[in-house]
Amino acid sequence: MSADIQATLRSPKGYEVARRALEVMQANQVWPTARNFELWVHYISEGKSPLAEEIDRLLAAGEPITESVGEALAAHYLPEARLNGGILEAGDVLSKELQSVTRAIESAQKSSEEYGQELATASERLGGDHAGPVKAVVANLANATRKVQGENAVLESQLAETTAELSRLRESLDQVRRDAMTDGLTNLTNRKAFDERLAEICEQADAGGEPVTLAIIDIDHFKGFNDAWGHQIGDQVLRYVASVIGRLGAAPRLAARYGGEEFAIIFPAENGRMAMTVLEEIRVEISSRALKRRSTNEDLGTVTVSAGYAERLGGESTVSLVERADAALYASKHAGRNRTSAAPPLAAVAAA
């Protein structure tokens, strides 16, 4: 939270602000999660802020503030959430620096040990009376080295502790990066990370001459399902569908939440025929399960998904690839939904 709002919550007005935020959340059927509470405290406290205006617009339009909507609002309007991009960039640079420092420390420790061992054994290698002066010099150097090594014992211990601390810091940075690249509702890769990885995978494919296939998947009639059962149940459906897509689209594939009820899978080094097999597994598994409300065991029916995929041509841009996969998805929708369609070749699209 911003410093001003944190100060407000610590003041005598804090209880009143918190109470009003919770009342408005309850009135609008918003779950009392930490992120949602933060959003609505900002909403109550900031008056005519851009965040408040956007929430007012959503409420006036009758649109519910679901977990996914809340995450999107937080990412756009809350100061801490907007820091994610900067955290990722700074974390990458710092992590590389930490690795460099760690390697330098380990190399210095190894060199010191090897140098001391060489001096300690040098005198033993020399024999004969004529080597006396040289042996004396080596002995003096060895004594000096042992003295320095003794004085450096504490320093080496501190360096070892520093190395361990750097390792812990790198692990923390890696966790921050994973969190910033993950969709909060589904735990799949988020859109920002997906866009970055798609560009990287296409570059690697061009260098290695390998295929890449992109698929976009959409839950059929999701709005109607939300209207019938409520958006909290809708979020549970999103998690269920994401779990199937994430399992069958696991590494080396990349499964992501593309936006709303849309998902995407990148298939590196896999052609369209291979992708089609996986997409059909996903579609059949999702449609075959009867869903139930957890709290009452009430039958919710089934959900289906439509999918479209495009096999990338060498040198094709990511924008073109996404457009063709999206066109294939809409072909599935227009053909009756609950099916998988392939994009036409790029040449056919250009000629149309």
> Which SS3 state, helix, strand or coil, does residue 338 take?
coil
C-alpha span between 329 and 313 (Å, rounded): 18
Tell me how far apart the terminal alpha carbons of the chain are, to the nearest angstrom.
52
Is 16 an active-site residue? Answer: no
Strands (E), 165-246: 212-219
| pLDDT score of 352 more than 50 | no
Q: What is the mean pLDDT of residues 332-338?
A: 96
Task: Check residue 312 and report its DSSP letter.
Answer: P
Architecture of the domain spanning 191-351: 2-Layer Sandwich (3.30)
The encoded tokens of residue 212 equal: 């890449």
Q: What is the pLDDT of residues 99-148, one digit of tens each?
A: 666 666 666 666 666 666 666 666 565 555 555 666 666 666 666 666 66
Task: Check residue 60 and report its DSSP letter.
Answer: H
Mean per-residue pLDDT over the chain, rounded = 80
Instruction: Point out which residues pair with 213 in neighbouring strands.
Output: 267, 311
Nearest to 276 by CA among 245, 250, 309: 309
C-alpha span between 30 and 59 (Å, rounded): 12
Higher pLDDT, 122 or 13: 13
Please report the pLDDT score of residue 278 as a whole number.
97
Q: What is the mean pLDDT of residues 87-96?
A: 55
| pLDDT score of 341 more than 90 | yes
Q: What is the pLDDT of residues 60-85, one digit of tens each?
A: 888 888 877 887 888 777 765 544 55
To which H or E segment does residue 328 belong?
helix 318-334
Nearest to 328 by CA among 346, 304, 302, 351: 346
Most confident of 4-18, 21-35, 149-163: 21-35
Look up the pTM and report it: 0.58
| pLDDT score of 32 more than 90 | no
Given the residues 261, 281, 311, 316, the one annotated as active site: 261
State percent of the chain over pLDDT 90: 35
Please report the pLDDT score of residue 350 as a whole number.
44
Task: Check residue 182 and report its DSSP letter.
Answer: B
What does the angle CA 115 – CA 118 – CA 121 come to, to the nearest 5 degrees?
A: 150
Q: Which residues contact 268 (CB under 8 A, 6 or more apart)?
A: 201, 204, 205, 210, 212, 252, 253, 254
| pLDDT score of 243 more than 80 | yes
